[in-house]
Every structure is written in C-alpha cells, then in structure tokens.
C-alpha cells in the first residue's frame, strides 16, 4: 500500500484515512463524553480490497487507546475488526 495517514476530523465527527493525500475512507462517530459511538465505516470503491478499511480501524483504535477513549462499535465493520483482533477488546464499552 502507498503512504497512509489516519487522522481525526472532529468537525465532521469521523476519523479519515488518506492514501497518498487522497481521502480513501472514513469511520463516523457520535461523541458521548469520554466515549465515541462508531456508526458507519466507508471506503471509497477505488481503495476497496487493499486493506484500507483495516488500516483505518487500526489507526483509529490506536489513537483512541493513546487518548484513553472507549468505543461503542455499532458499525458492523468495526465490530468485526475488533472481534478478529482481540487486542482491541479492552477499548470496547457498552456505556454510551
């Protein structure tokens, strides 16, 4: 994969992934105090099946771990990622 950057866009309530400076996807959230409720993940069709979605979720969760933020993965894609990667299970809460 090319150069990627995952960054929070608080104005749009989403984490975005840039691939070679092009917006390749995002995962949207609703802020609930110290908890973020993730509702939807989308990857541009030009970047699908390249690992971009997984890189987006991994980058998002790594940043949230550093902040001490918990997540409620209502988005099926994020929930499935966490299920496959139990090292992120400690970030999950049902308190939203």
Q: What is the pTM of this model?
A: 0.95
**How distant is the alpha carbon of residue 43 from its chain centre?**
11
Query: Which residues sit opposite 30 in a β-bridge?
Result: 37
| Domain containing residue 23: CATH number | 3.40.630.30
- Count of domains observed in the chain: 1
**Banded model confidence at residue 96, pLDDT cuts 50, 70, 90:** low
* Residue 95 contacts residue 70 (beta carbons within 8 Å): yes
Flag whether 96 is in a domain: no
| Neighbouring-strand partners of residue 5 | 18
The range of the structural domain enclosing residue 73 comes to 4-91
Encode pLDDT of 64-76 as tens digits. 999 999 999 999 9
Residue 63 lies in a domain: yes
Give the residue ranges of DSSP H helices in the chain.
52-67, 76-84
């Amino acid at each position: 994969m090319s150069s990627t950057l995952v960054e929070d866009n608080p104005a749009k309530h989403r984490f975005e992934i840039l691939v070679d400076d092009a917006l390749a996807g995002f995962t949207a959230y609703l802020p609930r105090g110290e908890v973020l409720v993730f509702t939807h993940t989308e990857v541009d069709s030009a970047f699908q099946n390249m690992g971009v979605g997984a890189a987006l979720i991994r980058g998002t969760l790594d940043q949230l771990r550093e902040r001490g933020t918990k997540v409620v993965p209502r988005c099926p894609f994020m929930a499935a990622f966490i299920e496959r990667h139990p090292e992120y299970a400690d970030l999950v809460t049902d308190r939203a």
